Amino acid sequence: MSVFAGHGDITPLQIWDGVVGHAIEGDRTTLAIVELAPNCAIPEHRHENEQLGVCITGSLRFRVADELREVGPGDSWRIPGDVPHEIERVGPEGALVVECFTPARSDWAGLERLDGRPALRWPQ
């Protein structure tokens, strides 16, 4: 098994309605490229994993604990473990973000695999 993979080699995961993740799994870390559909939302949740992210395209209205911010391309976030957070709204053009989770997202192992879905369209 190679240590390299093209983005078409990674089977997408259905994380929430309108939210598809392309996870690269390490022993202790998960790196994910996440596609968010236009105008979707992610409900408030929390997890043990520290979460670091950066917005590549699109926009998000993002709340972490009591801080609310409109996030766009180049903006980043840091969410300590067990801190509540949500995306109130994704912008009308959708969004693409890259996120890193430590420890690895073992809870994603049970998510639906979207076999046959077109490969991720990375921005030009």
Task: For residue 69, give the CATH number of its domain.
Answer: 2.60.120.10
How many structural domains compose the chain? 1
pLDDT tens-digit readout, 34-76: 999 999 999 999 999 999 999 999 999 999 999 999 999 999 9
Position 124 pLDDT exceeds 80:
no
70 domain-assigned:
yes
6 domain-assigned:
no
Q: Is residue 86 within a helix (H) or strand (E), and if so which, with residue range? A: strand 85-102
**Amino acid making up residue 7:** H
85 domain-assigned:
yes
Range of the domain at 61: 11-108
pTM over 0.85: yes
Q: Is residue 80 within a helix (H) or strand (E), and if so which, with residue range? A: none
The mean pLDDT of the chain is 94
- Percent of the chain, pLDDT > 90? 84
